[in-house]
Amino acid sequence: MRRYTVLKDIVSSLIACGFGVYQTDHEDANGQFEINWHYSDCLTTADRHVFFKYLVKTLAERHGFRATFMPRPFKELTGNGCHAHCSLWQGDTNVFAGEARPQDKGTIAGLGLSELGLQFLGGVVRKTVALCSMTNPTVNSYKRINGEMTRSGATWAPNRVTFSGNNRSNMVRVPEADRFEYRLADGAVNPYLLPACMLAAGLWGISQRIDPSPCFVAPSVNVYALADGAPELSGVARLPSNLLDALRATEQDPDIAALLGPRIVQAFLKIKYAEWQDFMRHLSTWELDKTLDC
């Protein structure tokens, strides 16, 4: 509540701009908040995403604060994700919407997504590792998805390519039978590349009729509590450990260049490899502490 004044200013401004803010809540870390606004088409949402970050930073400064969307600004606290709720529409019809079946609770069928919705989701989970360099585009991004547990006992960031029902320990959460929530992307993601990656992977999944079931985990399972080799994770991939691994996965995937456009992918990889090299030239305090006396 000590941040209520600045938060109220931000939300009131977003509502005045037509965002349709419907929920604001305090997240796990100190001074960390989530603001949810109404869905729209990809381009409108991306434009709003850019303006949202500008507005939040500007109004925070007016109140004497500094707002950050950095993936993991504090080692001991949870990072900043960019959770995206995704659905696919044909005119006024949501083609993801299926029928929830209580008798199938705990299974993929129990999620209620349509066949097209599951195929779209299949493409997303199948191409997640290859697109991770774009959804999580900084060195610091991998401190969020591979970092140590925080004071609260959870990072609230995914570490494996899994999906489930209403279970936030997974990379993808299916809260209702009409959409899914992609929880991997972080606050550093490019607002235009995120929906482009989701669409490219999802539409590829539909065209290839990809079955997402190998990545499904029962809603009752806490993925954070599972060790590598657990039966529930059979065939499930781990997310990249660092930006270099993610870039190599993007470069080696046979479909990404065609899906997003070779010029875009080539330019992105060139910039990010240069960024990685710049990072590797940096001498950190950790290195001095651990090896100065070796």
pLDDT at 100: 75
| Tokens found for residue 287 | 């290195």
Q: Which residues of the chain have pLDDT under 50?
A: none
Residues counted in the chain:
294
pLDDT at 183: 97
59 contacts 5 by C-beta, under 8 angstroms: no
Q: Which amino acid is at 92?
A: D
Compute the distance between CA of residue 43 and CA of residue 262 in angstroms, rounded to an integer. 21
Compute the distance between CA of residue 243 and CA of residue 272 in angstroms, rounded to an integer. 8
pLDDT at 71: 97
Compute the distance between CA of residue 232 and CA of residue 236 in angstroms, rounded to an integer. 9
List pLDDT tens digits, range 37-64.
999 999 999 999 999 999 999 999 999 9
145 contacts 80 by C-beta, under 8 angstroms: no
87 contacts 179 by C-beta, under 8 angstroms: yes
| Tokens found for residue 18 | 């037509």
225: phi then psi, degrees, rounded to nearest 5:
-85, -5
CA atoms within 13 A on the CB side of 101: 10
Locate tokens 């590829």: which residue? 204
What's the per-residue H, E or C state across 105-174?
CCCHHHHCCCHHHHHHHHHHHHHHHHHHHHHCCCCCHHHHHCCCCCCCCCCCCCCECCEECCCCCCCEEE
pLDDT at 148: 83
List pLDDT tens digits, range 74-85.
999 999 999 999
Rounded to two decimals, the pTM is 0.95
pLDDT at 106: 87
List pLDDT tens digits, range 78-120.
999 999 999 999 999 999 999 877 778 889 999 999 999 999 9
Compute the distance between CA of residue 22 and CA of residue 110 in angstroms, rounded to an integer. 27
Q: What is the DSSP letter of 231?
A: G
71 contacts 140 by C-beta, under 8 angstroms: yes
